Structure 1
């Protein structure tokens, strides 16, 4: 649901990290999904939430505490096509940050090349929030970004997974699916729903993020998310990424504990080799190979 600026509720801020997780993330871990917000930058006039200001320095403090080495900034819907906050953050640590922006399909070629040099590696298509690109942009965007080695990143509703499956053969670049397509993992047929993600991952260069369990299940401990993660890890560990989803925007009633989330991530991933593949290898290859 998209609201006017006057109605868009202020979401909760992230909880301070009060303790270190029992085990840190492995060296080289890449956080493939986080956002930053700056004071005084205009927000979209129609949006789904109002964020708290949380800067790159705030994320870097969190990253250092849990042993994240590199990160991928994702353009939040509340900034629409204004990528200035993200680009400023990229400029602050070009070696360790990459970005996913929101661009109009008719953006000038020189602008794509400029953004590539700044560390941008993809375009986000977001149909869940006002301010995102619609599906009608996909074909044109794919053709524009394929030569750059960029990807399309989708934040969609579960009902749109079949539409993505139909579009994949015509997309000429890697595809990344945010938050497991927002599947309802508390449903009785959750395993069958996860199987739809597995079918998408059969397509070359299609990836999914193990991220934001609190958006997919309301059961304490996120056991349904753990089951989904293990189902996917059993079939497609080479196509999975991890993201913190920090600072956990668009939450209004309860905020997760970041130390607990890291500990649960260790539990979901299990084997150290698999954990290294998901947390380090897959992401470094996709985002940091150049």
Structure 2
């Protein structure tokens, strides 16, 4: 089956990189990107239909902005079929890691096999069709703690309190996609951000400064910039950065990658803070072995 919009709308393709932005620091890790292959079955139901975008496409983008390493994240449209991600990992084992989607009952040997291939965590996605639910957390946490893996969560803001209540029972690091999908245009945006602050107070909880266009629609994303700066002031050691390339599930407008990189420089500000978020935190979490 090729990528078709028979079961879900076709999202926009990424825009070509139209200019060279300021280079990211040497050693930068992109902790959130996806790849999509033709001919691989898509989950049904699903939330969107992607365009084909290969590892080579991401590598061209990465080279243009000075990204050194990356973390592939299993997209919801592939469900439990991690084959596209694993094929990409095999192409550059030294510089790539992966976050997969697995059934909690997956046997120990399979976890160990995936670990050897560069997998470093499991994604729990309660926001999209085809993702793992919260009910999988306890079993997964117990299975992956000894491997040094993490649980990566894509949730809705309304679920942040529920996630906070579950943290004491989770025995591995926790990573939040896209700042917990905060609605930064909402009247209660400050209260939502406070919940992220509280989560980051917990041991081994991290959040990704990524996908500002999913959190606010204002040009230049000033609300995201304000939120990022507040978190950078309080929890710089708990923040990661991801490109979210190729920006799936967008149907009416597509961000400019060069602008996103320039804005990232602006949000991070201080060179030492930028290095911590873009390089040190991510390399420690994903590339320490």
TM-score tier (shorter): over 0.9
Q: Deviation per CA, 1:115-161: give whole Å up to 9, x if none.
A: 00000000000001111100000000000000000000000011000
Contact 1:100 1:121 in 2 (8 A): yes
Contact 1:209 1:240 in 2 (8 A): yes
* C-alpha distance in structure 2 between counterparts of 1:171 and 1:42, whole Å: 32
Q: Deviation per CA, 1:179-203: give whole Å up to 9, x if none.
A: 0111110123322221110100011
Contact 2:3 2:39 in 1 (8 A): no
What CA RMSD, in Å, does the superposition of the two structures yield over aligned residues? 2.1
Moved over 6 A (4+): 1-5
Q: Deviation per CA, 1:199-224: give whole Å up to 9, x if none.
A: 00011000000000000001000000
What is the Cα deviation at residue 5 of structure 1?
6.3
Contact 1:5 1:44 in 2 (8 A): no
What is the Cα deviation at residue 6 of structure 1?
2.7
Q: Deviation per CA, 1:38-74: give whole Å up to 9, x if none.
A: 0101101210000000000000000000000000000
SS at match of 1:47: coil
* C-alpha distance in structure 2 between counterparts of 1:182 and 1:95, whole Å: 30
When residues 34 and 3 of structure 1 are mapped into structure 2, their CA distance, relative to the original with a 3 A threshold, is: closer
* C-alpha distance in structure 1 between counterparts of 2:274 and 2:5, whole Å: 41
What is the Cα deviation at residue 7 of structure 1?
4.0
What is the Cα deviation at residue 18 of structure 1?
1.2
Contact 2:4 2:49 in 1 (8 A): no
Query: 5+ unaligned residues in a row in structure 2: which ranges?
Result: none
Query: 5+ unaligned residues in a row in structure 1: which ranges?
Result: none
When residues 168 and 2 of structure 1 are mapped into structure 2, their CA distance, relative to the original with a 3 A threshold, is: farther
What is the Cα deviation at residue 4 of structure 1?
11
What is the Cα deviation at residue 22 of structure 1?
3.5
When residues 4 and 142 of structure 1 are mapped into structure 2, their CA distance, relative to the original with a 3 A threshold, is: farther
Q: Number of paired residues? A: 289
* C-alpha distance in structure 2 between counterparts of 1:239 and 1:39, whole Å: 36
* C-alpha distance in structure 2 between counterparts of 1:242 and 1:198, whole Å: 17
The TM-score, its normalising length taken from structure 1, stands at 0.97
